[in-house]
């Protein structure tokens, strides 16, 4: 979860800088144009509020999930699931990264980057770690990563039955 904390810290730093810039703009505008002071201050304040309120969902969010099983089969299953739920997918097979344009969710299409890494679980079991990065809110990205992990587990159980 350190990656998510770093992302949130970077986002917070950006917001602080944006707000500082907005305050500086407000001060400069007030000094330069005393006659139109109220109108300019109001416009800049609204802009700062919009950047702060809407901007949070524009920055990338990250979620990570571990799935037990064969890492190579996990990669193949994740590819299948992402292709099934996206309009366009670009693959980097060497790095095991999928770039999904318009991954379909209830909230609409998201741009996602899904990284599949060979990993060991807390109890030493082999598997893969899915790192899902996207432009949605953190809950949506967490939901997508959990959905992909659940679908991978379903495919594993289906194979075990046959």
- CA atoms of 88 and 98, how far apart (whole Å): 10
Number of residues that make up the chain = 162
Per domain, the residue ranges of the chain are: 2-57, 60-161
The 10s digit of each residue's pLDDT in 80-122 is 999 999 988 999 989 999 999 888 777 777 888 999 999 988 8
pLDDT value, residue 87? 87
Beta bridge partners of 110: 103
Percent of the chain with pLDDT over 70: 72
Question: CA 2 to CA 87: how far, in whole Å?
Answer: 31
**Residue 87 tokens, joined:** 């309009």
Q: How far is CA 88 from CA 48, 83, 93, 124, 138, in A?
A: 35, 7, 16, 35, 22
**pLDDT score recorded for residue 22:** 73
Class of domain 60-161: alpha beta
Of 11-15, 107-111, 122-126, the poorest mean pLDDT is in: 11-15
Give the Cα-Cα-Cα angle 100, 2, 147 (nearest 5 degrees): 40
More confident residue, 26 or 2: 26
**Per-residue pLDDT at 1:** 47
Q: What is the mean pLDDT of residues 120-145?
A: 89
pLDDT of res. 37? 56
Angle at 109 between CA 104 and CA 115, to 5 degrees: 75
Residue 59 DSSP one-character state: S
Angle at which helix 138-161 crosses helix 71-85, to 10 degrees, equals 120
The residues that bridge with 56 in the sheet, in sequence order, are none
Considering only residues 47 and 22, tell me which one the structure prediction assigns the higher pLDDT.
22
């Amino acid at each position: 979860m350190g990656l998510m904390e770093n992302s949130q810290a970077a986002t917070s730093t950006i917001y602080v800088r944006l707000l500082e810039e907005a305050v500086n703009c407000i001060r400069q505008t007030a000094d330069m144009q005393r006659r139109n002071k109220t109108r300019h201050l109001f416009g800049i304040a609204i802009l700062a509020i919009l950047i702060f309120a809407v901007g949070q969902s524009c920055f990338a969010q990250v979620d990570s999930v571990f799935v037990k099983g064969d890492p190579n089969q996990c990669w193949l299953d994740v590819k299948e699931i992402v292709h099934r739920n996206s309009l366009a997918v670009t693959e980097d097979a060497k790095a095991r990264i999928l770039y999904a344009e318009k991954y379909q969710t209830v909230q609409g299409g998201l741009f996602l980057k899904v990284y599949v890494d060979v990993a060991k679980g807390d109890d030493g079991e082999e598997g893969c770690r899915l790192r899902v990065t996207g432009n949605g809110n953190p809950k949506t990205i967490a939901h997508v990563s959990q959905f992909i992990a659940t679908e991978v587990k379903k495919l594993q159980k289906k194979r075990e039955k046959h």
